[in-house]
Each structure stands twice: as structure tokens, then as C-alpha cells.
Amino acid sequence: MDQLHRLNEDEIAGALSGKPAEERIADCPSCGEEFAAWTELGRRLRQEVAARADLPAHFWAQQRARIRERLAPRTTRLRWATVTICALVLLAFGMVQRGAAPRGEDAQTTPAVSASRVAQVDPDDALLQDVHASLQRELPVPLAPAAVLVEELASASNQAQQAKEN
Amino acid sequence: MESTLEISAIGGAAAEVTPLDFDQVVREHQRRIYRVLLGLVRDPDLANNLTQDCFVRAYQKRDSFRGESSVSTWLISIAINLARDHGRNRRAGFWRRLFSVPAEETEAALETAADLGASAERQLIARQELDRVWEIVDELPERQREVFLLRFAEEMPLEEIARALGRELGTVKAHLFRAVSTVRKRMRYPYGPAASTERG
């Protein structure tokens, strides 16, 4: 009996897609009321979600940028990682060489040596100059900090050399 | 409306699609995918992250797109799967997140959701009723919730919902039937949700 005065679930589902059960609504005022209630509920749910998703253009642009970033070819990222690692290895090798070579010579002269004096030794200078020249030839962006470091070391070496000569 | 770019970019030579080509697909669908995800997870930050995940996954699996459904439906199916994965772990925090939105956002949503010409009391009742519906929907079984929201919040035809969920049409109808039945019973109003405002 109650079913005669109420929409069934299929009719409600139909109402949600904008297909009112016209005969039922015409014959049954309470059905019409319920149809209106469900239609209104659907409208309010859609409005609420739409209002929360109505975001400024920069949000969408930023979202696209992040997606693009994540879709960047893996090979490109690997290439830069490889170049960076190579640069660090080269730098570490240079520093190890710089630290190891002068010990014998220094031991014969003065026991206490400063960092600037270590840089006076010719093999180190040569190595630094080589590294510097190598970096200057083709300088990828990730190697910029390494180049700066090498330049500073070379500069310190030259200053020490000049100080010694004076 | 599907653009020709989409069809050539996704359906044609999928392997040759570059991120730059795919950017156009993202541009066309990001709002809808975000909206669907927001309805499902009710957390703006999570919806944003899942939207990004959705497009990244779509790009990675673009070879699997055969053009049997629209790009939009295909993307929604990916989004639903992502929301499902996250939802299993995060449903407990649903209401905490929902009510943690800043007051002005809540106010803005209320303004939009409620009839602008209605009285403050009616707006409050409408807000409470809407919150109650969200609460009930959140407690629905996963499939019923998805079908209910896609039907209500996105107005998707049942056939499209079936394709997005990878289910038979009859199954989708059954889920929707049960979801509507549950919402109706739990609202405890004899003539449906909005009628309650009339009956006090």
C-alpha cells in the first residue's frame, strides 16, 4: 500500500538522471514531493562538490606542471644524475690526490703546513689546472658548483705562490 | 566532447605520445577528475595528489587504452581505483578532514549549496541535511558509494558508470538501488531527504 504513495528506488535513480516518473508524479502527490526532494538533494550535492572544485587557474596550472615533471623522460633525469656523479667523483679524486702527493716533500721541510702551502706543490697545481680546464671546456649546469670550487682552490694556490715569491 | 587530439594522442599511436601531447589531455580532464576524486575522498589535498597520480598512471598505461570507452571514462576508472586504494586506509579520518576545512570555505560551500534566497534557518537545516547525507554515503559499502556519487555528483549515465567500474549494467543498478534504499532509510524521513525541511 505504502509503495503506491512512494517512489521506488528505480524511480529515484531515474529521477537522478533527469528522467522523472511522470505518470507516478501525476497520480501521486507524495511521489511528486519525493521526486522533488531527491532532485534537490542531487542538485545540492553537485553544487557542493563543484563549489569545492572551483579553484583558481594557478591551481590547475601548478597541477599540470607537477604532472609534466613526473612524466619527464627517465633517461633525461638519469643523464643528469650520471653527469653529477661523475663530476663529484672527479672532484673527490682531485682532492685525494692533492692531499696525498705533498706529504713526502713536506715532511722533508716543515712539519706544520697550512692549506695554502699544500696548494704550492706543483703536481697539485697541475692537477687543479687540468680539472679547471676540463670543466671549462664543457660545463654542464650541474657542474657549476664544482667549477666554482676549483676556481677558488686555484685562486688560493696562486695567492700562496705569489706570497711565497714576495 | 572528445577532442581529435585525444583520439590521435591516446587511441592512435599511444607509444609515440609525448608528455607534451599528453598535457592537452590533462588540461581537458583535470577538473572533472579532481571533482570526482574530491567527491570520493572529500580531502582537497588528497584529491589533488590522486589527480596527479591518475594522469601519471594513465600516461604510463596509455598502451592499454583501446578506445572502447571515452578517455574521460577511462580516466575516471583509474581515478576510482586510486581512490579505492587510498580509501581503504583513510576512511576513518573522513569526518575529521571534512570538518577541518577553514570556516570561510565551509561558509562558501554553504552559500553555494543552499538556496541563496532561503532564510538562515533553512540554510542551516539544508546544511545539516547535506552533512547527514554525506555521512551516510561515506558509510555505504565501497561500490555503492562510488555508484551513488557518480550518479548524484557527476550525473553520469548508468552505462558510463558500468564502463568506468568495469561492471555489468545490472550490477551497477543493483548497487545504486541499495545505496538509494540505505540513504532513504537512514534519513528517516517518510518522503525523502528534502521533504524533512518542510516537515520540521
CA A38 to chain centre: 46
In a mutagenesis test of the B interface, which of A11, A34, A52, A59 is the best target, namely the one with the most B β-carbons within 10 Å?
A52
Among A30, A41, A42, the residue with its CB nearest the CB of B191 is A30
Yes or no: say if B48 and B88 are a contact pair by the CB < 8 Å rule: no
Tell me what pLDDT residue A75 has: 61
Residue B96 CB neighbour total at 10 angstroms: 9
pLDDT in tens, A124-144: 777 877 877 776 666 666 667
Whether pLDDT at B192 is above 90: no
Q: How far is A100 from chain B (nearest CA, A)?
A: 49
Among B59, B157, B195, the residue with its CB nearest the CB of A33 is B195
Q: Which residues contact residue A88 at a Cβ distance below 8 angstroms, ignoring those fewer than 6 apart?
A: A146
Tell me what pLDDT residue A39 has: 80
Which residue type is seen at B88? R
Residues of B whose CB is below 8 A from A50: 35, 112
pLDDT in tens, B35-92: 999 988 888 999 999 999 999 999 988 888 877 788 999 999 999 999 988 866 555 4
Whether pLDDT at B145 is above 60: yes
pTM, whole model, 2 decimals?
Answer: 0.60
CA B30 to chain centre: 13
Residues of B whose CB is below 8 A from A38: 192-194
Which residue type is seen at A43? R
In a mutagenesis test of the A interface, which of B191, B197, B198, B199 is the best target, namely the one with the most A β-carbons within 10 Å?
B191
CA torsion angle B47 B48 B54 B56 (round to 10): -160
Query: Per the CB < 8 Å rule, is B108 touching A51?
Result: yes
Residue B113 CB neighbour total at 10 angstroms: 22
Query: What grid cell was written down for B65?
Result: 587504452
